């Protein structure tokens, strides 16, 4: 059986217990909000990083194309018109002709 003093103690302690329970119930909600904010910030940073990588990739491709264009231009300028035309039929053996194989 509950004594009157015990009941009085329980009633007095109910208010602080209620506050603790409310704080415990709100804590997951606050934690979830914080997690959502962090997740949104991380997503934003990843999108910016992806955009920067994409832009730097395009710049790298342009640089390589410019280098390739310079190389092609240098090669064309260096070639001597007489040496660029090699007579193919004079020294080259017939390729793709018949092959005689005896077994």
Where are the chain's structural domains?
46-72
Residue 5's alpha-carbon distances to 17, 32, 39, 60, 99, in angstroms, are 18, 42, 51, 82, 116
Q: pLDDT, tens digit, for every residue of 87-101?
A: 555 555 566 677 778
Q: pLDDT, tens digit, for every residue of 36-49?
A: 999 999 999 988 88
Q: Across residues 72-96, what is the average pLDDT?
A: 58
pTM of the full structure: 0.35
By 3-state DSSP, what share of the chain in percent is helix, strand and coil, each rounded to 5? Answer: 80, 0, 20
Tell me how far the alpha carbon of residue 65 is from its chain's centroid. 24
Residue 81's alpha-carbon distances to 36, 68, 75, 78, 102, in angstroms, are 69, 22, 12, 9, 46
How far apart, in whole angstroms, are the C-alpha atoms of residue 95 and residue 89?
11
């Amino acid at each position: 059986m509950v004594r009157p003093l015990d009941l009085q103690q329980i009633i007095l302690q109910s208010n602080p217990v209620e506050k603790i329970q409310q704080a415990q119930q709100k804590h997951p909600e606050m934690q979830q909000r914080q997690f959502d904010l962090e997740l949104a910030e991380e997503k934003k940073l990843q999108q910016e990083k992806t955009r920067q990588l994409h832009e730097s990739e395009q710049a790298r491709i342009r640089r390589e194309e410019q280098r390739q264009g310079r190389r092609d231009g240098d090669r064309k300028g260096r070639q001597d018109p007489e040496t660029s035309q090699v007579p193919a039929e004079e020294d080259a053996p017939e390729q793709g002709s018949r092959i005689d194989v005896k077994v």
